[in-house]
Amino acid sequence: MTIEEIKEIIQLLVETGVAEIEVQRGENRVWIKGASSGQDTQISLMPASPASPNSSVPYSAAQLPSPSLPSTPLPPIEDNLPVIKSPIVGTFYEAPSAGTPPFVKAGDTVQPGQVLCIIESMKLMNEIEAEAPGVIVKKLVDNGKPVEYGEALFIYRPL
Amino acid sequence: MTIEEIKEIIQLLVETGVAEIEVQRGENRVWIKGASSGQDTQISLMPASPASPNSSVPYSAAQLPSPSLPSTPLPPIEDNLPVIKSPIVGTFYEAPSAGTPPFVKAGDTVQPGQVLCIIESMKLMNEIEAEAPGVIVKKLVDNGKPVEYGEALFIYRPL
Amino acid sequence: MFDKVLIANRGEIALRIICACKELGIRSVAVYSEADRNSLHVRFADEAVCIGPAKSAGSYLDIPSVISAAEITNVNAIHPGYGFLSENADFAEVCQMSGITFIGPRPEVLKLVGLKQSAREAMKTAGVPVLPGSEGILKSAGEALSVAGKVGYPVMLKASAGGGGRGLRVVHSGDDLPNLYSQAQTEAAAAFSCGDLYLEKLVQDPRHIEFQVLADLHGNVEILGERECSLQRRHQKILEEAPSPSVSPQLRQTISETLAGAMRDVGYTNAGTVEFLMDQQGNLYFIEVNARIQVEHPVTEFVTGVDLVKSQILIAAGEPLEQILDSPVAIRGHAIECRINAEHPETFAPSPGRLTALNLPGGIGVRVDTAAYTDCVIPPYYDSMIAKLIAYGHDRAEAIARMRRALDTFVIEGIHSTIPLHQKILADPDFLAGNFHTNYLSNKNWGQAAVSPG
Amino acid sequence: MFDKVLIANRGEIALRIICACKELGIRSVAVYSEADRNSLHVRFADEAVCIGPAKSAGSYLDIPSVISAAEITNVNAIHPGYGFLSENADFAEVCQMSGITFIGPRPEVLKLVGLKQSAREAMKTAGVPVLPGSEGILKSAGEALSVAGKVGYPVMLKASAGGGGRGLRVVHSGDDLPNLYSQAQTEAAAAFSCGDLYLEKLVQDPRHIEFQVLADLHGNVEILGERECSLQRRHQKILEEAPSPSVSPQLRQTISETLAGAMRDVGYTNAGTVEFLMDQQGNLYFIEVNARIQVEHPVTEFVTGVDLVKSQILIAAGEPLEQILDSPVAIRGHAIECRINAEHPETFAPSPGRLTALNLPGGIGVRVDTAAYTDCVIPPYYDSMIAKLIAYGHDRAEAIARMRRALDTFVIEGIHSTIPLHQKILADPDFLAGNFHTNYLSNKNWGQAAVSPG
């Protein structure tokens, strides 16, 4: 691998905001970790508000009044499992109506098309369905709470 | 991998802000980690104005009207030899008076205390003396030209 | 007064409105797309809700998402800013039905002034000068030919629902008219789902001049002078000033009085702008109403001392104008705004990307409205404006000198910007002499500006 | 008019003066120490000369270096800013001898007003109210005892050449006086090479109020209203406003008229500030003349519309005041300045270092004077001010609301700043009521402010 090629890779790193890259060609190997500026690119894709005080997010929450509504504090993703996100803004309901049991609970196996919850938006009840078979690992939002676009609703394990 | 190539990689590291890099070629391997804060400090000590267009100095000369007086464009230091700098602001004279030969010229060996040039400041003629024995390699300022504090006047080779 | 206001916009205008809310002690809710997660309007609002993906059709333009965000955050009112949903009568109507105050005119007034031909009729009735042209919508190319014969060529065919130059054709002779008529009709139908056209006399090399309106809920209307917006590229304003170097105090007063009556007659409320063309004899002709806060509102704020965005909120909350404004509002000094866009200064090619270095000018007489910061990313999804740079002076010469030094100390690296173009304009003898019109930039060959006036 | 001006200063004031030069079409020369190589004043001046090492004694305070820089760049004039050489009569004299215009008062006037006791005498003669105290320099502790007995305790012993609290002692009874007298004398001699002392009655919990003066080379003097500078920590101003909430129009007019005569009598020229203490009955007493532009000049600029730094340059170039100022200069609205220092907001411990993130507030009614940028370094060698944040409003309430939102959107990371202290002040009922004096901060226990008034 020539210096020119390495330069190109670094350029890519800086431009795309990729954090680390490792390239191996036969016996040649290069490993690069983007730094302060490379990290920034990553930061620009991170959730804005729940920055921990020691993070290097441009404007850290420590010095700023953080918005009271959580701007998508991405939940700790247990074991790197995927999440089911809200496709709309609205109010989350776990059950068809008050007093009835929830559509799903942790441990349930769900099939494609199965209703997982309702998001109420402009008085309309939107049923959110499972897209693939899986097991619900955890419900992330409390009943009746507002959710943003893209907010994680459930952690699930695909089957 | 030659030292020259390693130098180039380090240069790249400094310019792009990459944090770490590892390059392996066959049995050769080099791993470099940029000094997170040290790196910045280094940049902040770089000359501000004569920044080359591809440098990462905060505001590059390419996009800015550069000051017409050279803000100490550190001259190319030939073979990494030391320079003798001006201790004051003023006008540089290579000779005691017009028409007389210069105090020193390239190739001259100078002794401590020997006068190298005059810097005129507020009508006062300040004689600049050699501090250590050496050979003058190059005069960097033209006769009668203004010099800043810290501006390089001569390149010399210590004896 | 409102407790909490949602700002249905992004960028500098969202931040501008958040600042107005903070000054009034009102809590603010930002909405944002996934591309704007790290934006300053998200950072500085009291609350923020992600409403959709980067593309504005699914976020900033999506009425259900915006209304849902307003409902889950329990706001009293929505400020729409400019662009996006700001002049959307449907949106204003949904707000009304949802019990949320829309900070802008009533839906029916938005509808009236949004249709160019009906706005023109209303203004004409109230005595505001309009361009000679068709009475209402043209029924056929034949009618267009007959009207054009009466007002004299060249004429313009315009889409009634139009904007941005779509459905617009310049006609130089009757021979070309039938062809151009059907082209314009097809284009208008495709762009606005409405092929209605009308016809107006073409003004050669016009100036673009607009008057700022504030109207409260109690029938009081105040005109806060005019702005000169003739410097445009591709029908987009690039540099604005107040007052106009070509409007006399007499003309200002006459138009202001007529306009105040006209806006009262149509039931206009909140802030708005009435746009005029000025011909080479100095006559003004109404062209359209912009029923929202304008990008260039700060030049009016500088010369009148009125905070237009705070005024919008106060008006929507029911405050009468005499509580909001000094009486009488005086015009003092001169202000210029340069739009600093993420564009190549010569080709106007968009230049989105990361600002690797940023130095904002400051000091006396200089105002910057921006949501940019060092290391922020200008996304490719929205308009290209990075910042508005506004300079004020006792007179036009001082404002120009201030603007020049502000441009000299404005540093943007990492992307191209229109700063060099503005530096060229502010050194140009024609600009300095106030000698320009809407074709100024294209005549100078500065950038690839379109030739037809807007 | 000058072709080229050298700015013998650094930081925001150097940039402020460069901006004024640019607006007047004058070329500017920056000087800088090795620590300031990457400063914006170096970047934006037309030329820049390194004049010495980081420590100011060898650079910004070194007269031969500054004069040499002026000579090799062929400037017509030097603007000294504030601090450093700005009130140094020797420097002004060297400028004169070198054929360079010093933008400030004449050397002999600098000398006169620089000695507190002679300034006090001159003011007293012209009818400006001064504090009861000694007539001229005290000859002995015995004379001090006798004067103190007449004016009544507590009294203050002050160094004639003094400043910054050195050589200053508060005396509560005659028993303490002899000891404190010799302490003050020793301190003054060490600090200023002059042990001369004088004595004044101590005003309890005074307000600090100062009047802005402009005087041309033709004997015309204009007083541009006052500034309220009572909010101090360790004798250093931290927040200033104009006008003062405690000066009535009548008092302003009376003092202005008397002051104009006094400044004309002493042959004062260029910009200057006359500082007063106000006692709890609202009486003003002269304390000293600051013969330079003040840090807090922007609040006066906001309420008068006068560009004080441009005025300084025009005055030095011989322009008469009637060409520079509107006549009469009116005071409109209210302005507040917060000094944003690189200090811990509670301990006031200096906090030099790199600004890792910076967001400057902007928008309507907000002005920022700063030389800071993202990633710049605040060096430990000079004063700790990073930025001046100034907010303007129609009235004090609006100015306060603007300042609050400006502070809320001002982001500095990497070092500590006084932003949180200002946020506390601007939310404090006593401040909002205009109910404060120079001991306000120490009484609140906000920071370790010294107890004795300045």
pLDDT tens digit sequence for D398-413: 999 999 999 999 999 9
My answer on whether D219 and D89 are in the same domain is: no
DSSP state, residue C177: H
Q: What's the pLDDT band for A57 if we cut at 50, 70, 90? A: very low
Residue type for D237, please? K
Whether C165 is in a domain gets the answer yes
Query: Tell me, what's the pLDDT at C116?
Result: 83
Instruction: Mark whether C275 and C369 lie in a shared domain.
Output: yes
CB neighbour burial string for C152-164, b if at least 16 within 10 angstroms, e if fewer = eeebbbbbbbbbe
Per-residue b or e along C224-260, where b marks 16 or more CB atoms closer than 10 Å to that residue's CB:
bbbbbbbbbbebbbbbbbbbbebbeeebbeebbebbb
Tokens read off for B23: 């390059």
Chains touching chain D through at least 3 C-beta pairs below 8 angstroms are: A, B, C
Asked whether residue C111 is assigned to any structural domain, the reply reads no
Question: Is C359 within 8 Å of chain D by CB?
Answer: yes
**Burial track D222-231 (b if 16+ CB lie within 10 A, e otherwise):** bbbbbbbbbb
CATH number at residue C178: 3.30.1490.20
Tokens representing residue D263 in the block = 């400044």
What does the alpha-carbon distance between residue D149 and residue D143 come to, in Å, rounded to a whole number?
10
Q: Tell me if C123 is assigned to some domain.
A: no
Q: Tell me which residue range forms the domain holding D137.
A: 132-201
Which C positions 406-435 lie with beta carbon below 8 A of chain B? Answer: 408, 411-413
Same domain membership, residue D190 and residue D48: no
Chosen for mutation from A64, A69, A151 (greatest number of chain C CBs closer than 10 Å) is A69
Q: Residue D136: pLDDT above 90?
A: no
User: Is it the case that residue D378 has pLDDT exceeding 80?
Assistant: yes
pLDDT exceeds cutoff 90 at A33: no
Is D56 a residue whose pLDDT tops 70? yes
Question: How many C-beta neighbours within 10 Å does residue C368 have?
Answer: 23
pTM of the model: 0.85
C374 and C231 housed in the same domain: yes
C43 and C98 together in one domain: yes
Chain A residues at the B interface, defined by Cβ less than 8 Å, are: 1, 3, 6-7, 10-11, 13-14, 27-39
pLDDT band at C149; cut points 50, 70, 90 = very high
CATH number at residue D55: 3.40.50.20
3-state secondary structure of A125: strand
Mean pLDDT of B13-26: 66
- The answer to whether residue C322 is domain-embedded is yes
pLDDT at B62 (0 to 100): 35
Percent above pLDDT 70 for chain D: 98
Domain boundary at D201, D227, D261, which?
A: D201
Domain assignment present for residue D113? The answer is no
What are the residues facing D159 on neighbouring strands? D197
User: What's the pLDDT at D199?
Assistant: 93
Q: Which residue has 């000066």 as its token pair?
A: D247
pLDDT of res. A78? 57
Residue of D nearest to C307 (CA): D364
Closest residue to A67, CB basis, from C38, C47, C94: C47
B40–D72 C-beta distance less than 8 A: no
Quote the pLDDT of residue B72: 43
pLDDT of residue D437 exceeding 90, the answer is yes
Place of tokens 């008019």: D1
Give pLDDT tens digits for C442-454: 899 886 543 333 3
For the cut 80, the answer to whether the pLDDT of residue A30 exceeds it is no
- The secondary structure element, H or E, covering residue C270 is strand C270-278
The β-bridge relationship of strands D101-102 and D77-79 is parallel
**D450 lies in a domain?**
no
Q: What mean pLDDT comes out for the span C161-181?
A: 88
Task: Please state, rounded to an integer, the average pLDDT across all residues of chain D.
Answer: 94
For residue B57, the model assigns a pLDDT of 33
Helices within B96-151 (DSSP H only): none
Name the band, by pLDDT with cuts 50, 70 and 90, for residue A39: very low
Q: Which of D292, D339, D367, D402 is catalytic?
A: D292
CA–CA separation, B41 vs B72, rounded Å? 19
Domain shared by C192 and C211, yes or no: no
The string over C102-123, giving b where at least 16 C-beta atoms fall within 10 Å of a residue's C-beta and e elsewhere, is bbbbbbebbbbbbbbbbbbbbb
Q: Which residue(s) pair with D111 in the sheet?
A: none
% residues pLDDT > 70 (chain C): 98
Neighbours of B48 (CB within 10 A): 26
| Facing B60 at nearest CB: one of C359, C408, C413 | C413
Which chains have 3 or more CB–CB distances shorter than 8 Å to chain B?
A: A, C, D
Q: How far apart are CA D87 and CA A41, in angstroms?
A: 49
* pLDDT tens per residue, range B36-46: 433 332 222 22
Are residues C146 and C93 part of one domain?
A: no
Distance CA C225, CA C211 (A): 6
Same domain? D314 vs D439 = yes
Cβ–Cβ pairs < 8 A, chains A and C: 92
Distance in angstroms (rounded) separating the CA atoms of residues D11 and D47? 16
Report the percent of chain D where pLDDT is more than 90. Answer: 89
What is the average pLDDT across D303-312?
98
Q: Any chain A CB within 8 A of the CB of D326?
A: no
Among the partner-chain residues C48, C51, C373, the one whose CB lies closest to the CB of A69 is C48
Rounded to an integer, what distance in angstroms lies between the CA atom of residue D166 and that of residue D198?
13
- What's the pLDDT tens digit per position in D79-132? 999 999 999 999 999 999 999 999 999 999 999 999 888 899 999 999 999 999
Contacts of A12 in chain B (CB under 8 A): none
Q: Are A117 and A93 in contact (CB under 8 A)?
A: yes
CB contact under 8 A, A63 and D359: no
Which range among B63-72, C17-26, D144-153 has the greatest average pLDDT?
A: C17-26
- Nearest Cα to D36, choosing from D369, D376, D341? D376
Cβ within 8 Å of residue C143, ≥6 positions away: C134
| Residue matched to tokens 């939107």 | A126
In the predicted structure, residue C75 carries a pLDDT above the cut 90? yes
Among all chains, which residue has been given the structure tokens 């307003």? C70
Listed residues D151, D168, D201: the one ending a domain = D201
Question: Is-contact C362 D360, C-beta < 8 A?
Answer: yes
Q: Give the pLDDT confidence score for residue D453 in this predicted structure.
A: 35
Å between C416 CA and nearest CA of chain B = 10
pLDDT attached to residue A69: 36
Tell me whether residue D178 is in a domain.
Answer: yes
D316 lies in a domain?
A: yes
Q: Which residues of C435-451 are buried (b: 16+ CB within 10 A; e: fewer)?
A: ebbbbbbbeeebbebee
Residue D328's domain is classified under what CATH number?
3.30.470.20
Based on the domain organization, do D31 and D70 belong to the same domain? yes
Task: Please check the confidence at residue C101 and state whether its pLDDT lies above 50.
Answer: yes
> Residue D445 above 70 pLDDT?
yes
Which residues in B lie closer than 8 A to residue D67 (C-beta atoms)?
121-122
Which residues lie below 8 Å from residue C163, measured CB to CB, with a gap of 6+? none
Q: Which residue has the higher pLDDT, B51 or D340?
A: D340
Residue C233: predicted pLDDT: 87
pLDDT at B101: 95
My answer on whether omega of the bond before B65 falls inside 30° of 0, hence cis, is no
- Higher pLDDT pick, D307 / A59: D307
**Which position among C106, C169, C227, C292 bears the catalytic label?**
C292
- Are both D320 and D360 inside the same structural domain? yes
**Residue C163 DSSP symbol:** B
Verify whether residue D252 is a known catalytic residue: no
Give the model's pLDDT for residue A72.
43
Count of the separate structural domains present in chain D: 3
**Residue A14: what pLDDT?**
61
Contact A149 C50 (CB under 8 A): yes
**Final residue of a structural domain among C150, C167, C201:** C201
Please give the angle made by the CA atoms of B39, B45 and B46, to the nearest 5 degrees.
Answer: 95
B vs D, Cβ pairs < 8 A, gives: 95
Interface test with D, best of A37, A56, A59 (most D CBs within 10 A): A59
Residue D326 has pLDDT above 90, yes or no: no
In chain C, which among 20-59 make CB contacts under 8 A with chain A? 29-30, 34, 37-39, 42-43, 45-53, 59
CB C286 within 8 A of CB C129: yes
Residue D269: pLDDT band with limits 50, 70, 90 = very high
Q: Which residue of C has its CA nearest to A145?
A: C72
Give yes or no: residues C78 and C188 share one domain: no
Strand partners, D110: none
- Predicted confidence (pLDDT) at residue A68 exceeds the cutoff of 60: no
Cα separation of D450 and D454, whole Å? Answer: 9
Mean model confidence pLDDT for chain C = 94
* Helix D141-151 × helix D177-192 angle, to 10°: 120
**Does C152 lie in the same domain as C239?**
no
Q: Are strands C357-359 and D197-201 parallel, antiparallel or unpaired?
A: unpaired
Rg of chain C (C-alpha set): 21
Tens-place pLDDT, residues C356-372:
999 999 999 999 999 99
Phi then psi for residue C54, to 5 deg, are -55, -45
